[in-house]
Amino acid sequence: MPLHNLATQQLWISIVVVATLFAIAIGAQPPPRPSSNCQRKCGEVDIPYPFGIGPYDSPDHCSLPGFNLSCKDDGHGALRPFHRNVVEVLGVLLQQGQARMRMHMSTYCYNASTEKMDRDWWWVNLTGTPYRFSDTGNLFTVVGCRTLAYIGDEDNVGKYMSGCVSMCRRGDVSSLSNGSCSGIGCCTTAIPKGLQYYKVWFSQGFNTSGIYKISRCSYAALVEASNFTFSTSYATSSAFFDAYGGWPPLLVDWAIGNETCEVAKQKPAGGSYACVADHSKCFDSANGPGYICNCSKGFQGNPYLVDGCKDVDECNDDPAKYPCSVKGTCKNTPGGYECICPSHYPKGNAYNSTCEKDQSMPPKVTIPIGIFAFVLVGLLLFLGIEWIKHKRRIVRQEYISKMNECFQQNGGQLLMDMMKVESNISFQLYNREEIELATNNFHSSSVIGEGGQGTVYIGQNLDEKTNPVAIKICKGYDESRRMEFAKMMHPSELWRSV
């Protein structure tokens, strides 16, 4: 093994021992609360809590134990975060409980000068940390035309070991296909859950000495599956190594502590339970012990901070993902939203764009119309009443005119003339309605006599001072009878009924 690999191995062993001792010493400590002085960015990478830059036990408590990172120059003038100063951290996926890191690629190449195989084999140890290699996000990937590579746990103790063989029959690369990684020039295999240590090596029974002009090197690494697509040039050149600069990305799952959510929640106030934000939820890790935290539905942010989970304004969060089918109808609520049809489209459902227009007029229109209609109806009613009164006056005047005419025609004027001559006589005139009332509308029971000139009725209660009177209705009228009827109407000729 090359000297630089031996030195690296010794460094890793020392780090693991120290980290284990620290973990034992601080195991019972409650989670620290970060101060506002903590560095939350290293280069272009955001560092959200529980991760932090600097020692985890610093006075600012910038990270939880095991999540402390260093921020250093990568040798090219750029700042980058590193785990244990060795493994570069490309990014933190807070909600998924994952982090993207870069690990060295192992190589096995034929050296034409020495006529031997040069090997550069690597191993990675995350034991004693919150990290496990993601079994769902990574694939052990081997590239080459005559190679067998192994991946195994520490010291080959039998806990885990697997391999992948990649061949190009007799060095024939014409059968290689872009995007295909099924054993011809490329091979992949999955890893188990809970893996925190792995090393990669090649079987020395396979080498490229016979095909080095076609495919000189073999490569093997644990690679982020979504970040790898096989190219035929990978098997025939250094293109695979060069594509990642020798450091391909992979995914690690991380978790808080070694307890389940149920156990961690039972800790006393101020204990180690890390889901401290309002509207936060706890989820057991799917890759080994421990748990992760997330904001509840409708909230987003950092659930590991007391005030970290903020309400999502679904109405303004992302116009491309507008939650309501009808624009302008979204109303944000704590942890959610409502789609309310606009006032002029009150019926229907704004979630599925079925708002219907209200056919009725709004109050600002209906109120003035109602007032106008009320005034108009009142005016028409007033005019109607006045018109009826006017008609009644005309009818009354016509009636009085006809009554006067009738009175004149039936000897009334002659009677008046006779009264003027005999000025000592006074009398009372009654209208038809009073006479009809007094005779019970000329009912037969009021008849007290009948002659050739007409029928005589008894009239009752014409007024308070008047005794019953005889009322004669003339059967017919002609000029020869006018004098006779007038004389009969003269007070000297009137007779009363007892």
392-421 pLDDT, tens digit each: 888 878 877 777 777 776 666 666 777 676
Q: What is the DSSP string of 278-339?
A: TTEEEEE-SSSS-EEEEEPTTEEE-TTSTT-EEE--TTTS-GGG-S-SSTT-EEEETTEEEE
Amino acid at 171: G
pLDDT digit string, tens, across residues 59-114? 888 999 999 999 999 888 899 999 988 899 999 999 999 999 999 999 999 999 99
Q: Are 236 and 173 spatial neighbours (Cβ–Cβ below 8 Å)?
A: yes
pLDDT at 483: 58
The pLDDT score that the predictor gives to residue 393 is 86
Reference 193, options 245, 242, 248, 255; nearest CA is 255
Q: Note the pLDDT of residue 411.
A: 66
Is 352 buried (19+), middle (13-18) or exposed (0-12) by CB count in 10 A?
Answer: exposed
| 201 vs 151: CA distance, rounded Å | 7
Cα separation, 321 vs 101, in Å, equals: 31
Which tens digit of pLDDT belongs to each residue from 414-436? 667 776 766 666 666 777 777 88
| CA angle, residues 296, 302, 306, in degrees to nearest 5 | 90
CB environment 242-270: b (16+ within 10 A), e (fewer): eebebbbbbbbbbbbbebebeebeeeeee
Residues in the chain: 498
Beta strands at 280-284 and 291-295: parallel, antiparallel or unpaired: antiparallel
Structure-token pair, residue 225: 């599956």
pLDDT value for 451? 73
Identity at 449, one-letter amino acid code: G
Give 249's DSSP letter: E
Instruction: Find out whether 249 and 224 touch, Cβ atoms under 8 Å.
Output: yes
DSSP string, 124-170: EE-TTSSEEE-TTTEEEEEE-SEEEEEEE-GGG-SS-EEEEEEE-GG
How far is CA 89 from each of CA 47, 248, 268, 286, 316, rounded to the nearest angstrom? Answer: 10, 12, 34, 21, 33
How many C-beta neighbours within 10 Å does residue 421 have? 7
Type of residue numbered 276: V
Q: Would you state the structure tokens that stand for residue 28, as one six-digit string?
A: 């019972």
Q: Are 200 and 106 in contact (CB under 8 A)?
A: yes
465 class by beta-carbon count within 10 Å (0-12 exposed, 13-18 middle, 19+ buried)? exposed
Ranges under pLDDT 50 in the chain: 1-30, 492-498
* Model pTM score: 0.65
The whole-number pLDDT of residue 394 equals 87
| Residues 6+ away with beta carbon under 8 Å from 414 | 482, 483, 486
Q: What is the spatial distance between Cα 142 and Cα 134, in angstroms, rounded to a whole number?
A: 18
